[in-house]
């Protein structure tokens, strides 16, 4: 009898992932968090590590060392982390705390990094342990920190010693434009091998983003349709209801919607939706295909930019029943700011598979609600046989459809909901019961919450574990980052050269009105989630 590959609901059916988890448990590893007093460490990294430890994924030989400039004892650091820990993880943190330590060091001071090295040698595994340096730092410190770590001899791979790997995890933003991303890549490549560098994009750690790959390449029924012959349009939305509160304005104003979300998170989602099938699930096989999409991605040229893109910022409005200030009134936004909080672009991917299919990308802050979603809209049948408006003569119906004054319904839309709902839905038309031949919309729905009894793990859990176990699939390679910046730079300079206006939209709404005009003819409109 043939052996059936079986995966029960809720289980990990992937043998290589299981092997990685085991490897993670057996490997003595030291995670050094540089920037340990920052928000990311407290809010994301330590809770994620605590869950991983509680789940038995980190093994006995694993330890964490927090590093920042402020002198502090191990106990004081642990107390600080515990105080901020979500209540449900406090007990798990108490069990994990003995493996968490703290060392004051200044990344600009070589002596303090040499002392850090001495401390690491005293931790389990000593110098033979694998080491991961997590740079939870301001972006201008990424290059100088790796320079200093290298000068202190902390990131050199120790040839012949297994598993004494040395890895560096780098947070976003990786560069501010193509030139700065290239400069940072080349600085890092002077000190590290590419396979030592783990560039984070937390969207790739989201269960539903990873599912884009699984859904496409495990379900053969969609594959024949996944191209320009059958797909009319793809739209990707990341809508947020938050603004730039909580002291983020200083960073955000130097970035804006295009750099902060579209260049990284959204292009990663796009590359998973549009990539060719990889030959295996190896990191390089997947990243090779993703980068091809990014290289083939084109935004509007300067003379098309006003027609095919929108940039805007929020004005005062009401979100969730609360009055909220305009972007320009947010604390920390400089007077005269020209930063956008909303971007919408009609782009194209010049590959054999996608040529001519619009990829509509939209992101905005302070919109009506928070949702991230991909919609794949399939072409309509060649003739619309049904739903002729009552009283309209067949010839008038035919003419109206032909000249576009009447649009055919788009019955087949596949919606991949990434957050907050984690779901997949396929729409189609069914005959409405009765004597008339009238087609009505219907849906097939799948919801992760209903199907699986475990909640999706937070993105940082998956990403930290992958960095510890050495799986770079969900991290960005240098060429992906550069291809994404090439696209973003093209839009930014197009806006400048093409005179793209910065329009306003009321907070709590659906963004500027003009954004619907990026859709042509009967292509439809932006999803409202
Ligand atoms: C960050 C951006 O990378 O992602 C933020 O800097 C944004 O501006 C955040 O709010 C959104 O992440 P998520 O996971 O909540 O969609």
Profile the chain (529 residues) by mean pLDDT over runs of 10 residues: 46 41 64 95 96 92 96 97 94 97 96 97 93 96 97 84 84 97 98 96 96 94 95 98 89 96 98 97 97 97 93 97 96 95 98 98 98 97 91 95 91 96 96 94 95 89 95 97 97 93 97 95 95
Does any domain span residue 178? Answer: no
| CA dist list (Å): 461 to 51, 90, 429, 468, 528 | 8, 17, 40, 11, 30
Atom in ligand 1 nearest the alpha carbon of residue 172: 3
Query: pLDDT at position 159, please?
Result: 66
Does any domain span residue 401? Answer: yes
Structure tokens of 375? Answer: 């919609």
C-alpha span between 128 and 164 (Å, rounded):
5
> Given ligand 1 and candidates 172, 202, 268, 327, which is best to mutate, with the most ligand atoms within 8 Å of its CB?
202
Does any domain span residue 5? Answer: no
Q: Atom 9 (ligand 1): residue with closest C-alpha? A: 261
298 is a catalytic site residue: no
Query: pLDDT at position 477, please?
Result: 98
Tally of CA atoms within 13 A in the half-sphere of 335 that contains its CB: 0
Q: Which of 171, 189, 219 is the last residue of a domain?
A: 171
Tally of CA atoms within 13 A in the half-sphere of 86 that contains its CB: 11
* 163 and 254 fall within a common domain: no
- Pocket lining: 348 vs ligand 1, CB cutoff 6 Å: no
Does any domain span residue 6? Answer: no
SS3 487: helix
Residue 7 CA to ligand 1 center (angstroms) comes to: 32
Does any domain span residue 461? Answer: yes
Q: What pTM value is reported for the model?
A: 0.94
- Pocket lining: 260 vs ligand 1, CB cutoff 6 Å: yes
Q: Atom 8 (ligand 1): residue with closest C-alpha? A: 260
Residue 185 CA to ligand 1 center (angstroms) comes to: 23
Positive or negative, the Cα torsion across 325, 330, 336, 342?
negative
Q: Atom 4 (ligand 1): residue with closest C-alpha? A: 261
* 390 and 461 fall within a common domain: yes
DSSP 8-class letter at 404: T
Does any domain span residue 9? Answer: no
* 153 and 297 fall within a common domain: no
Write the CB contacts of 327 (distance below 8 Å, at least 6 apart in sequence).
243, 244, 313, 314, 315, 333, 337, 339, 341, 365, 366
C-alpha span between 171 and 457 (Å, rounded):
19
Residue 59 CA to ligand 1 center (angstroms) comes to: 31
In sequence order, the β-bridge partners of residue 431 are 439
- From the list 253, 290, 260, the residue with the least C-alpha distance to 273 is 290
C-alpha span between 222 and 463 (Å, rounded):
28
C-alpha span between 134 and 132 (Å, rounded):
6
Atom in ligand 1 nearest the alpha carbon of residue 260: 6
Atom in ligand 1 nearest the alpha carbon of residue 251: 6
User: Is residue 481 a contact partner of residue 175, using CB atoms and an 8 Å limit?
Assistant: yes
Query: pLDDT at position 221, please?
Result: 94
Residue 367 CA to ligand 1 center (angstroms) comes to: 14
Does any domain span residue 257? Answer: yes
> Given ligand 1 and candidates 205, 206, 260, 314, which is best to mutate, with the most ligand atoms within 8 Å of its CB?
260
| Ordered alpha helix ranges (H), 389-475 | 394-403, 448-451, 459-469
Residue 60 CA to ligand 1 center (angstroms) comes to: 33
* 167 and 287 fall within a common domain: no
Q: Which of 171, 187, 221 is the last residue of a domain?
A: 171
Atom in ligand 1 nearest the alpha carbon of residue 252: 8
Domain of residue 246, residue span: 204-518
Atom in ligand 1 nearest the alpha carbon of residue 244: 8
- Pocket lining: 240 vs ligand 1, CB cutoff 6 Å: yes
* 157 and 211 fall within a common domain: no
Structure tokens of 65? Answer: 């060392």
- From the list 17, 38, 86, 35, the residue with the least C-alpha distance to 458 is 86
Residue 473 CA to ligand 1 center (angstroms) comes to: 21
User: Is residue 259 a contact partner of residue 343, using CB atoms and an 8 Å limit?
Assistant: no
* 241 and 355 fall within a common domain: yes
Atom in ligand 1 nearest the alpha carbon of residue 240: 10
Q: Atom 7 (ligand 1): residue with closest C-alpha? A: 261
Does any domain span residue 217? Answer: yes
Query: pLDDT at position 21, please?
Result: 43
- Pocket lining: 373 vs ligand 1, CB cutoff 6 Å: no
Atom in ligand 1 nearest the alpha carbon of residue 242: 10
Task: Identify the helix (H) or strand (E) that includes residue 364.
Answer: strand 359-364
Q: Atom 6 (ligand 1): residue with closest C-alpha? A: 260
Residue tagged active-site, from 57, 176, 202, 265: 265
Residue 238 CA to ligand 1 center (angstroms) comes to: 9
Residue 365 CA to ligand 1 center (angstroms) comes to: 10
Q: Which of 171, 187, 212 is the last residue of a domain?
A: 171
- From the list 147, 163, 108, the residue with the least C-alpha distance to 155 is 147
> Given ligand 1 and candidates 265, 269, 463, which is best to mutate, with the most ligand atoms within 8 Å of its CB?
265
3-state secondary structure 247-286: CCHHHHHCCHHHHHHHHHHHHHHHHHHHCCCCCCCCHHHH
Q: Atom 13 (ligand 1): residue with closest C-alpha? A: 203
Residue 75 CA to ligand 1 center (angstroms) comes to: 31
Which class for 182: exposed (0-12), middle (13-18), buried (19 or more C-beta within 10 A)?
middle
- Residue 299 phi/psi, 5-degree rounding, is -95, -175
246-267 b/e (C-beta count within 10 Å ≥ 16 → b): eebbeebbebbbbbbbbbbbbb
C-alpha span between 30 and 126 (Å, rounded):
9
Atom in ligand 1 nearest the alpha carbon of residue 265: 3
* 366 and 437 fall within a common domain: yes
Query: pLDDT at position 409, please?
Result: 86
Residue count of the chain? 529
Q: CATH code at 164?
A: 3.40.50.720
The total of other beta-carbon atoms located within 10 Å of residue 497's CB is 12
Largest CA distance in the chain: 86
SS3 376: strand
User: Is residue 258 a contact partner of residue 310, using CB atoms and an 8 Å limit?
Assistant: no
* 363 and 409 fall within a common domain: yes
* 164 and 264 fall within a common domain: no
Angle between helical axes of 478-498 and 283-296 (0-180°, round to 10): 10
User: Is residue 314 a contact partner of residue 506, using CB atoms and an 8 Å limit?
Assistant: yes
* 162 and 245 fall within a common domain: no
The total of other beta-carbon atoms located within 10 Å of residue 99's CB is 19
Q: CATH code at 273?
A: 3.30.360.10
Angle between helical axes of 178-189 and 142-151 (0-180°, round to 10): 10
CA dihedral 393, 397, 403, 408 (to 10 degrees): 160
* 211 and 154 fall within a common domain: no
> Given ligand 1 and candidates 261, 266, 371, which is best to mutate, with the most ligand atoms within 8 Å of its CB?
261
- Pocket lining: 39 vs ligand 1, CB cutoff 6 Å: no
Domain total of the chain = 2
Strands (E), 479-519: 502-506
Residue 203 CA to ligand 1 center (angstroms) comes to: 9
Query: pLDDT at position 18, please?
Result: 42
Query: pLDDT at position 247, please?
Result: 81
């Amino acid at each position: 009898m043939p052996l059936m590959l079986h995966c029960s609901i809720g289980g990990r059916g992937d043998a290589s992932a299981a092997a990685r988890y085991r490897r993670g448990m057996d490997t003595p590893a030291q995670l050094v968090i540089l920037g340990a007093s920052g928000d990311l460490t407290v809010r994301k990294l330590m809770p994620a590590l605590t869950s991983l430890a509680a789940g038995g994924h980190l093994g006995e030989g694993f330890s964490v060392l927090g590093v920042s400039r402020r002198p502090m004892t191990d106990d004081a650091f642990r107390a600080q982390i515990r105080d901020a820990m979500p209540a449900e993880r406090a007990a798990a943190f108490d069990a994990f705390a003995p493996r968490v330590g703290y060392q004051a060091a200044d990344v600009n001071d070589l002596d303090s990094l040499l002392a850090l090295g001495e401390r690491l040698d005293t931790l389990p595994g000593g110098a033979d342990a694998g080491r991961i340096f997590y740079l939870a730092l301001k972006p201008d410190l990424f290059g100088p920190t790796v320079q200093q770590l290298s000068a202190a001899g902390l990131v050199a791979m120790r040839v012949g010693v297994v598993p004494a790997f040395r890895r560096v995890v780098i947070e976003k933003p990786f560069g501010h434009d193509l030139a700065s991303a290239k400069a940072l890549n080349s600085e890092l490549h002077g000190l590290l091998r590419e396979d030592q560098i783990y560039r984070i994009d937390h969207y790739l750690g989201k269960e539903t983003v990873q599912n884009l790959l699984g859904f496409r390449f495990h379900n053969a029924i969609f594959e024949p349709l996944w191209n320009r012959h059958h797909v009319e349009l793809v739209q990707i939305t990341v809508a947020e209801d938050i603004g730039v509160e909580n002291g983020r304005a200083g960073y955000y104003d130097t970035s804006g919607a295009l750099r902060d979300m579209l260049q990284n998170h959204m292009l990663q989602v796009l590359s998973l939706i549009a990539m060719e099938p990889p030959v295996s699930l190896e990191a390089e096989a997947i990243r090779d295909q993703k980068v091809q999409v990014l290289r083939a991605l084109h935004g509007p040229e300067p003379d098309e930019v006003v027609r095919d893109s929108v940039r805007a910022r929020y004005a005062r409005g009401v979100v969730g029943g609360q009055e909220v200030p305009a972007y320009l009134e947010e604390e920390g936004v400089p007077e005269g700011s020209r930063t956008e909080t909303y971007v919408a672009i009609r782009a194209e991917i010049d590959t054999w598979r996608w040529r001519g299919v619009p990829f509509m990308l939209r992101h905005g802050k302070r919109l009506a609600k928070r949702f991230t979603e991909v919609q794949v809209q399939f072409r309509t049948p060649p003739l619309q046989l049904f739903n002729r408006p009552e009283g309209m003569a067949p010839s008038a119906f035919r003419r109206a459809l032909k000249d576009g004054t009447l649009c055919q319904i788009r019955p087949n839309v596949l919606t991949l909901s990434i957050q907050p709902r984690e779901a997949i839905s396929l729409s189609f038309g069914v005959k409405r019961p009765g004597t008339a031949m009238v087609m009505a919309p219907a849906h097939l729905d799948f919801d992760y919450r209903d199907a699986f009894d475990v909640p999706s793990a937070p993105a940082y859990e998956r990403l930290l574990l992958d960095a510890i176990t050495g799986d770079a699939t969900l991290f960005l390679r240098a060429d992906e980052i550069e291809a994404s910046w090439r696209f973003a730079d093209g839009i930014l300079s197009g806006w400048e050269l093409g005179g793209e206006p910065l329009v306003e939209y009321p907070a709590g709404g659906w963004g500027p009105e003009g954004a619907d005009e990026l859709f042509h003819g009967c292509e439809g409109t932006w999803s409202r989630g």
